């Protein structure tokens, strides 16, 4: 796996990126490194490239988007997740566009799946467990 980086929005829009000079064997290690690079250098965005089509796109400080087999989940702030649930409960229009999202609250990851319109919410002890549930790995076992 490699990390592709855009230093500014202009670079991203013009297609000018660079590949970080390190290769990763594990997606979680690459993700940790990408988050640190993103935060420490104030890059506009970055993507983890993998032969297995896993990627991470950091668009801003509020959310990250993960892609797997053409599905997308978003890592968002607690505030966005709370607003999303409150809007669903109160039948208001969602300001955050997406049906699969999760956040970290204290030491727990809260995952939200609204693909069916029922707004399922589950808590997990690790980010990987929350992502796996959102990508449907646990749901397939339940059926």
Percent of the residues in the chain that have a pLDDT greater than 70, as a whole number = 86
- What is the model's pLDDT at position 31? 87
Cβ neighbours of 109 (radius 10 Å): 21
* pTM of the shown model: 0.74
Please give the DSSP secondary-structure letter assigned to residue 32: H
- What is the model's pLDDT at position 142? 42
C-beta separation of 23 from 52 below 8 A: no
User: How far apart are the C-alpha atoms of 130 and 87, rounded to whole Å?
Assistant: 22
pLDDT for 35-83, tens place per residue? 888 889 988 888 888 765 667 666 666 678 887 766 789 999 999 999 9
- What is the model's pLDDT at position 25? 87
3-state secondary structure of 51: coil
Per-residue confidence band for 140, with pLDDT thresholds at 50, 70 and 90:
very low
pLDDT for 107-122, tens place per residue? 999 999 999 999 999 9
Give the count of alpha carbons within 13 A of 76, CB side only.
Answer: 22
Q: Which of 65-69, 89-93, 114-118, 123-127 has the lowest mean pLDDT?
A: 65-69
3-state secondary structure of 21: coil
């Amino acid at each position: 796996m490699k990390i592709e980086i855009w230093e500014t929005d202009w670079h991203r829009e013009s297609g000018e990126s660079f590949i970080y000079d390190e290769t990763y064997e594990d997606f979680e290690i690459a993700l940790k490194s990408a988050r640190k690079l993103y935060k420490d250098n104030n890059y506009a965005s970055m993507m983890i490239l993998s032969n297995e089509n896993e990627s991470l796109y950091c668009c801003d400080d509020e959310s990250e988007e993960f892609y797997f087999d053409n599905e997308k989940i978003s890592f968002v702030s607690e505030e966005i997740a709370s607003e999303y649930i409150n809007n669903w409960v109160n039948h208001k229009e969602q300001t955050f566009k997406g049906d699969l999202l999760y956040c970290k609250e204290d030491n727990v990851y809260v995952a939200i799946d609204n693909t069916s319109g029922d707004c399922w919410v589950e808590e997990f002890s690790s980010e990987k467990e929350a992502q796996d549930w959102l990508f449907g790995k646990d749901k397939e076992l339940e059926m």
